[in-house]
């Protein structure tokens, strides 16, 4: 590769060209280098080697059956207590009715994440999956983070394997990747003290993969973590993926600085910069050589930056969402949903090929144009 200005990137470029795996120290060089054009080209090289120009999105609806939660993560603006203004807590029938009101033809994914409700029994969650599968045949249910599975394990007094097996038998198709935050204990103690531990999060996903439930993985960045802690997070994911192969995508989530205790404590009002977001995505594409997709989540990046990220290693920009609430209650300035046509146009305008997918990354439609 010509035009490399940072000599530290020369051996890394040779390794990337040869399909080799980067070391932890080489990952840190990617975070430190000011040679951003080379970083972009390397990430794009891997992206196109894996998927060519294809860029994926899903027609999905986001559902949170409650925002009542006892965990108290300091970065969260979503959680409420019983009786607090803005709290909601829906019965199974109310969830089904909410989805039915917003259902659109061609919907392939119902994405469920919510708070850790202290009183709902585990049977409620099984009933919810069964009801959604019965009411919307053919739509896949991607539900509950590893943190929520850990919560179910506690209230049901069952090991992760039995909880996940029961959910799978009820109709669970896949799991989202939330609740990972940053694995480093120093950070976790400060931002998510009462949430599942890093080891617990990884154990839930390991068990899901062993049961044939594919999952995603996230990383919440842009608050108090160091670059070494970001890379440590990716390193633990890479090792688990070597073991199980069950991760479909990795989704860096930029910290949203409104309405949460951590932002007030840090005096933080600014969102992450576009360059930090793009660098983070490129490092992920180069370091996580065994995870198929890096997702540029438009709801936190903005649609415009998600479009640019397609040159920085990204092959998925998530989906239509339909009334996403969690990141928007924390201050995301983006729309709460985008149409399929809008997503396809974003991808086409970047010179890539829009591919509508389902929750399991099976191709539904390749878009060659938008409109009549």
According to the 3-state scheme, what is the secondary structure of 218-247?
EEEECCCCCHHHHHHHHHHHHHHHHHHCCE
**Residue of 156, 130, 161 lying closest to 143 (CA atoms):** 130
Say how many Å lie between the first and final Cα of the chain, rounded: 42
Q: Distances in Å between the alpha carbon of 223 and those of 68, 85, 187, 256, 330?
A: 24, 27, 9, 9, 13
User: What SS3 string covers 17-50?
Assistant: HCCCCCCHHHHHHHHHCCCHHHHHHHHHHHHHHH
Token pair 């949203």 is found at: 256
Q: Which residues of 89-126 are buried (b: 16+ CB within 10 A; e: fewer)?
A: bbebeebbebbeeeeeeebbbbbbbbbbbeebebeebb
- Which residue has 């438009």 as its token pair? 298
Q: How many CB atoms lie within 10 A of CB 256?
A: 26
84 is in an annotated binding site: no
**Token representation of residue 167:** 């959910």
The phi-psi region of residue 157 (left if phi > 0; otherwise alpha if psi is between -120 and 50; otherwise beta) is: left
Q: How far apart are CA 228 and CA 245, in angstroms?
A: 24
Which structure tokens are listed for 266?
């840090």
Residue 341 annotated as lining a ligand binding site: no
CA atoms within 13 A on the CB side of 247: 30
Q: What is the three-class DSSP state of 363?
A: strand
Q: Of the candidates 359, 63, 60, which has an alpha carbon nearest to the alpha carbon of residue 213?
A: 359
363 is in an annotated binding site: no
Binding site for S-adenosyl-L-methionine, by residue number, is: 75, 181
Binding site, by residue number, is: 69, 73, 75-76, 181
Binding site for [4Fe-4S] cluster, by residue number, is: 69, 73, 76
């Amino acid at each position: 590769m010509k035009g490399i200005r940072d000599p530290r990137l020369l051996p890394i470029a040779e390794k990337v060209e040869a399909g080799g795996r980067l070391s932890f120290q080489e990952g840190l060089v990617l975070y430190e280098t000011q040679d951003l054009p080379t970083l972009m080209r390397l990430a794009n090289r891997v992206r196109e080697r894996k998927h060519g120009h294809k860029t994926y999105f899903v027609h999905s609806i986001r559902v949170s059956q409650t925002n009542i939660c006892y965990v108290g993560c300091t970065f969260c603006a979503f959680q409420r207590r019983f009786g607090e203004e803005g709290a909601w807590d829906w019965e199974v029938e109310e969830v089904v009715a909410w989805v039915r009101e917003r259902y659109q033809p061609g919907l392939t994914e119902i994405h469920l994440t919510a708070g850790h409700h202290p009183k709902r029994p585990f049977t409620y969650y099984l009933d919810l999956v069964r009801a959604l599968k019965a009411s919307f045949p053919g739509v896949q249910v991607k539900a509950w983070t590893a943190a929520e599975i850990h919560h179910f394990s506690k209230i049901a007094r069952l090991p992760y394997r039995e909880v996940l097996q029961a959910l799978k038998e009820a109709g669970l198709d896949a799991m989202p990747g939330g609740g990972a935050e940053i694995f480093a204990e120093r950070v976790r103690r400060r931002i998510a003290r009462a949430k599942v531990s890093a080891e617990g999060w990884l154990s839930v996903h390991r068990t899901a993969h062993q049961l044939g439930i594919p999952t995603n993985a996230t990383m919440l960045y842009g608050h108090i973590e160091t670059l070494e802690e970001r890379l440590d997070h990716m390193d633990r994911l890479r090792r688990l993926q070597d073991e199980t192969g069950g991760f479909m995508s990795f989704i860096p989530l930029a910290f949203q600085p409104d309405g949460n205790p951590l932002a007030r404590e840090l005096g933080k009002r600014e969102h992450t910069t576009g360059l930090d977001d793009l660098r983070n995505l490129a490092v992920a594409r180069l370091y996580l050589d065994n995870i198929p997709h890096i997702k540029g989540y438009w709801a936190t990046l903005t649609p415009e930056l998600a479009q640019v990220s397609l040159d920085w290693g990204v092959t998925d920009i998530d989906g239509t969402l339909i009334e996403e609430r969690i990141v928007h209650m924390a201050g995301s300035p983006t729309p709460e949903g985008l149409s399929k046509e809008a997503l396809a146009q974003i991808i086409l305008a970047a010179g890539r090929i829009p591919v509508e997918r389902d929750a399991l990354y099976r191709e539904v439609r390749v878009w060659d144009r938008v409109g009549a």
